[in-house]
Amino acid sequence: MTTQEAMRRAKALVAQMTLEEKAMQLRYEAPSIPRLGVPEYNWWNEALHGVARAGTATMLPQAIGLAAMWDDAFLQELGDLISTEGRAKYNAQSAEGDRDIYKGLTFWSPNINIFRDPRWGRGHETYGEDPYLTSRMGCAFVKGLQGDGEYMKSAACAKHYAVHSGPENLRHEFDAVVSKKDMNETYLYAFEKLVKESKVESVMGAYNRVNGEPSCASTVLIEEKLRGEWGFDGHFLSDCGAIRDFHTGHKVTNTPQESAALAIKKGCDLNCGNIYAYVLAAVEEGLLTEEDVTRSCERLMATRYKLGLLGDTTPYDHLGITDVDTDENAALALKAAEKCMVLVKNDGVLPLNISELKTVAVIGPNADTIGALRGNYHGTSSRSVTFLQGIRKALEGKARVLFAPGSHLWQTNVESCVNKDEGDRIAEAVACAKAADAVILCLGLDETLEGEEGDAHNGYASGDKETLELPAIQKKLLAAVTAVGKPVVTVVTAGSALRVEEGNAVLWSWYPGQAGGDALANILFGKVSPSGKLPVTMYHSLEELPEFTDYNMKNRTYRYFEGEALYPFGFGLGYCPFIYEDAENENGAVTVTVRSEGYMTADEVVQVYVKKNDSEYDSLNPSLCGFARVTLDAGDFRRVTVPVTEDAFFVYDEEGKRVPAGNNFTLYVGGSQPDAVSCRLTGKKPLEIHLVK
């Protein structure tokens, strides 16, 4: 259904509503209007990496892990999986009269904020630090969720618009001050692409202010950019409680009525929170007109018509509870988990040869917990396989598996912890390591340590991190186990950068979803070659970075970082070397021959970066402008074409205007970015193409 047709029907429906009825429809808990055949509807639902918070669903890797796949076509397929399960659950639950929270078809996903600082606890909800990668993955996810049929399969939401990435404990009062260049080049880029290319149905405003204006009532962000320049015709909603912050935190209004009026007049149609309970009072006080309320109500009803939720028959009505948590979806979850894991260090110990193993020790607080699989905004899987379970399954009848947790995930007082209960656990872990031929050491974080304010339990930082080091008790465990001298594979469960170098191999698992244990085992024992690439820069320490509250991009992310990364953006090792040959640029694409010199079928991510040699406005370092994932058999080769859009040859000046970047460019194509660390770690330099336009 076109937006025009949906809006025509919405206008006709809303014209029959009273002012009170219209005002009530602007709340996320929208009541029914029986006389008009409008059922109740709760707009709040989540689907960041699977249908969340509404019972059983396929649980995919957390968003940062999905980004590490560098596979937008597959991510679109996963988005379709999510929308299928979402429709199926909606049909089944609404048939039973359950229209409660988390049961609708308006999914408040994806989170396309730029993960500019590794301290941010919610960074693992994003697609990483690069605007281009974020835009490609975000557009694919939206297309998967919404589909391309007459009716939307589900409605996606681009959040949190727009300059939003911590600190969590300041978000209700914080003003993110950002230059016009950084605003357009970095923070708005992906949002514009999702609006224009994937036609995302909704946009959620952030909690904080941006350059003095509340994000949910911004002249610049909503009126000028979103509705004006980009032509967005969907609905806009607030983050939960964000409009209340207008008068309680930001102090830009004095009363709830003023806050409600400011938000609606600036274009915020839907309120997650309770401030739109004051809409009628705002009208009575002359702060709002009925026309203001009508406009927002029409946009919301148009979305419901696009979804077929107001009496229409849709192609998705046949979906039911048996379409949830299927074997086919579980197979896709395993494929995603395998693709997302990133091998950042390997001295040759991986892959482990099962025939040479008699005993394997699986150690660590994340070895046998579902919490290590989930990340935040997760569903409930019926098929979760922990790392320990996956390894045991793979080694059944072949090798003995010893297990010791070694420590808790986190402990404030390391000495008291070690001297008491945890001392015995570290001793047990060391004993297991000594008895083993190889050690799988599962360390890191979970959603209780890095996450959203109010959800995470690390009250000292409201979900953000204060260091890039592992928790102290885990560092003690790591030192004790590696000192034994056995081969150690360090598996890091986290959604962000940490400084972890210890171990013969280091594998970043992120939060890999329900199939994490099976995926890890397949990689450890050589059934699958690791193929994920980092969507963020891994730094040595926070001392290398600006203050957390500084939103200037200088010395942030791989594009502007002035130092040398621990593990660079775009980096990831595998078991099969790939050779790049005969690169050329023509007709808006880079074409290159990729040849496998490996012994097994494996994936490679071909990456293209651009340096704009003539422009004073270019980023400090070459920036990503194209990528493609390719699968090659042992010894096989393929001519791979990577599209490069015109955006690669433009820059944003200090006024935030998109201008040509001159005539002289260097394109780099290879399996990593062309930085010194990547070249040293991979032993290869990307091919260069010098281009004069």
Q: With helix as H, strand as E and coil as C, how does 424-481 read? A: HHHHHHHHHHHHCCEEEEEEECCCCCCCCCCCCCCCCCCCCCCCCCCCHHHHHHHHHH
Greatest Cα-to-Cα distance within the chain, rounded to the nearest angstrom: 80
Q: In whole angstroms, what is the distance from residue 341 CA to residue 343 CA? A: 7
**Catalytic status, residue 501:** no
- Amino acid at position 33, single letter: I
DSSP letters, 200-235, are -SEEEE-SSEETTEEGGG-IIIIIIIIIIIS---SE
Given the residues 182, 450, 604, 618, select the one marked as catalytic. Answer: 450
β-strand partners of 689: 667
**The amino acid at 179:** S
Q: Are 493 and 371 in contact (CB under 8 A)?
A: no
Distance in angstroms (rounded) separating the CA atoms of residues 551 and 81? 36
Residue 500, burial from CB neighbour count under 10 angstroms (0-12, 13-18, 19+): buried
Note if 450 is an active site residue.
yes
Q: How far apart are CA 515 and CA 434, in angstroms?
A: 29
Q: Given 239, 298, 604, 618, which residue is catalytic? A: 239
111, two tokens = 């989170």
* Long-range residue pairs from 657-663, CB within 8 A, at least 24 positions apart, any chain: 657/184, 658/184, 659/617, 661/612, 661/614, 661/615, 661/617, 661/618, 662/612, 662/613, 662/614, 662/615, 663/614, 663/692, 663/693
- Written as six digits, the tokens of 210 are 């941006």
Distance CA 626, CA 610 (A): 9
Provide the sign of the torsion angle of the four alpha carbons 253, 254, 259, 265, taken in this order: negative
**Which DSSP state fits 60?**
P
Active site residues: 239, 450
